[in-house]
Amino acid sequence: MSQNETATGLPLPPPAVLRQTDAVVDAHEEKAKWELRNLLVLAAHHVLLRLAWIFKTETVIIPAFLDTIAGAGWIRGCLPVLNRISQSVAPVLASASLRNAPLKSRMLMNTSMLMAFLFGVLAFLCLNLGREPMPWLPVVFLILYAMFFATTGVNQLSFNTLQGKLIRPHRRGRLMSLAGMAGSLVAMAGAWFFLADWLALPDGRGFARIFGVTSLCFLLSSFLLWFVHEPRGERGQAESHPGRLFRNVWRTLREQRSMQRVAVVAMLFMSTMLLFPHYQWLGRSVLNAGPRDLMIWVILQNLSVGVFSWITGYIGDRYGYRIVIRCETFAMALVPLVALTLSEVLEPDQRIWYAITFLMLGLTPVTIKTMFNYVLELVHEEHHPHYLSTLNVCMAAPLFLAPVVGYLIDWNHHVIFVVISGVVLLSGVLTFRMDEPRLELDNSRSEA
């Protein structure tokens, strides 16, 4: 037997392949060694984000604030388009820099601090609500809102990329479950003790306190990231030309069939967000809901986020994320119909039951997170930023219609709610065309 043969007589792999295999094994062992600590730190970071988020819930608090300073349906309709487009464009521009950064946690930390700063500015501006005319505030708010969600998009891209680097695939659902449930409990406690009283303050003055707490929680969440143990990678050459980055997005969608299919599902599903600012409007205008009702809606929505995160995280780890996305989209297709039905059959003194709408709406952020986890399994770690930002771009497409939908809501909200329900239902049907990366992973393991 020669030096270049194994005991079975088969030739040995080339030295470069052996070195690469050893590096992969070492990286896997390093990830497993620090995984529990990193999982707990990332979960705690997410808990503080959730506490911040409950004080700026997109379905309740932000639309209510905009109604306080403006009021028109088309202005409310600007929220989803600014939200999603800002979240989608910024991650594409940041994806190359993040991919080539030796430490992904640094960008996550910096964006968390910037989110804190933007809401700190908004809280400062709200100190004068009701004390002097502020006709310019709606425009300033929308600008800050767009900047905030551009930062949020990069923040979420950084979090998902860091998760892909530090947490193994079959444990990412555990992170989603732990962070979702703990975050919901903490956020609900914060809303229960403070939110109703602050919302009841005259002339909207409580929004200064609400947004101030939001800023503080974002700041604390950034400090926690100092405890993440992240191996330093090699610094690459960032491909930062915007035109080339967006052409890469288009090329990926054109050439990668598996990405095409999840992108279509995501685009259709995200039409559900066109109605986000209008659920609270429906409850307030038809059922005369007040500050206490808004607090209950926020709490129940966050409770459902925690429960659904726990359930979907467990199922996703065990059976893969395709089946989870399918169930989530079919369930979300019912939400507009439930909201319409409840607004028609309930009397104002029975409006407590309208909270069922917000209990179901908690599934929306969980579904988005599930789609990101699904994409993480489609490609290798070095491609995660690009594929995640590509999915973000696709999610933004339907939101261009948000101001039009807001205008049509004032015309006939029944028709719009039913149409959106049908579009989301179609996204559920199309999940049957999606690939299951977990099956390919299991097959490769069995062949090995």
Number of helices (H), then strands (E), belonging to the chain: the values are 20, 0
Q: Please tell me the predicted confidence (pLDDT) of residue 325.
A: 93
Backbone dihedral angles phi then psi of residue 10, each to the nearest 5 degrees: -85, 145
| Structural domain boundaries, residue 86 | 32-226+245-447
Alpha-carbon span 5 to 213, nearest angstrom: 66
Q: Distance between alpha carbon 266 and the CA centroid of its chain, in Å?
A: 12
Note whether residue 11 is domain-resident. no
This prediction's pTM: 0.68
Note whether residue 432 is domain-resident. yes
Residue showing tokens 């950064």: 101
CB atoms within 10 A of CB 350: 11
Secondary structure (3-state) at 439: helix
Alpha-carbon span 221 to 237, nearest angstrom: 29
Note whether residue 436 is domain-resident. yes
Note whether residue 2 is domain-resident. no
Q: Distance between alpha carbon 81 and the CA centroid of its chain, in Å?
A: 15
Alpha-carbon span 12 to 18, nearest angstrom: 9
CB 56 within 8 A of CB 119: yes
Alpha-carbon span 354 to 434, nearest angstrom: 34
* CATH number for position 311: 1.20.1250.20
Q: What is the pLDDT along the chain (448 residues), one digit of tens a residue?
A: 444 444 334 344 444 433 444 444 445 555 666 788 888 888 888 889 888 888 777 667 787 787 777 765 666 667 777 777 787 778 777 777 777 788 888 889 999 999 999 999 998 888 877 677 777 888 888 889 889 988 988 898 888 888 878 887 777 777 777 777 787 788 878 878 887 778 777 766 788 888 998 999 999 999 999 998 888 776 655 555 566 667 777 787 787 888 889 999 999 998 888 887 788 888 888 888 777 787 788 788 888 888 888 888 888 878 888 999 999 999 999 999 999 999 888 888 888 898 899 889 889 888 988 998 888 888 776 777 778 878 888 887 887 777 778 778 777 888 889 999 999 999 999 999 988 887 655 444 444 3
Q: Please tell me the predicted confidence (pLDDT) of residue 192.
A: 80
Note whether residue 8 is domain-resident. no
List the alpha helices (DSSP H) in 133-241: 137-166, 172-190, 196-199, 206-224
Q: Please tell me the predicted confidence (pLDDT) of residue 242.
A: 61
Note whether residue 3 is domain-resident. no
Domain count, the chain: 1
Note whether residue 21 is domain-resident. no
CB 351 within 8 A of CB 289: yes
CB 317 within 8 A of CB 168: no
Note whether residue 68 is domain-resident. yes
